[in-house]
Amino acid sequence: MAKDDMQFEEPEIIYIPDEEGNEEEFEVIMKFEVDGSDQKYMMVVPLSAAEGEDEEEEDEVYAFRYEEDGDDLKLYTIEDEEEWNMVEETFNTLLGELEDGQNG
């Protein structure tokens, strides 16, 4: 019997330039679309945090709206508070469903 549900996917890594133009590595932890909208969002964590270098600090999670244009990925910061609240609520709901699925 195959154990398909035990396979671990390769983490998706993206590079986002900081204010100085240095590219930083981020791991995509979740992608989702918000109901009633055709907007796509992704949640990412800095790769250094994902590797557990600073276990004292809580992982910072960043949210971006994104568009795929062929192989190009365009990221947009979420500056609208209403949009941010909607994204955060969706993320927390999905996270809760994932945790319930793992515990059940």
This model's pTM is above 0.75: no
Side-chain-facing half-sphere of 90: CA atoms under 13 Å: 20
Please state, in angstroms and rounded to a whole number, the distance separating the CA atoms of residues 59 and 46. 8
Tokens matching residue 35? 């109901």
User: pLDDT, tens digit, for every residue of 14-59?
Assistant: 998 888 989 999 999 999 987 777 899 999 999 875 555 544 455 6
pLDDT of residue 104: 60
Burial class (CB in 10 A: 0-12, 13-18, 19+), 75: middle
Phi and psi at residue 17, in whole multiples of 5°? -70, 140
> Mean of the pLDDT values across residues 10-14?
87
Q: Which residue has the higher pLDDT, 7 or 38?
A: 38
Inform me whether the pLDDT recorded for 75 exceeds 70. Answer: yes
Q: For residue 82, which of 74, 90, 94 has the smallest C-alpha distance? A: 90
pLDDT of residue 7: 56
Strands (E), 1-104: 12-17, 23-33, 40-46, 62-69, 72-77
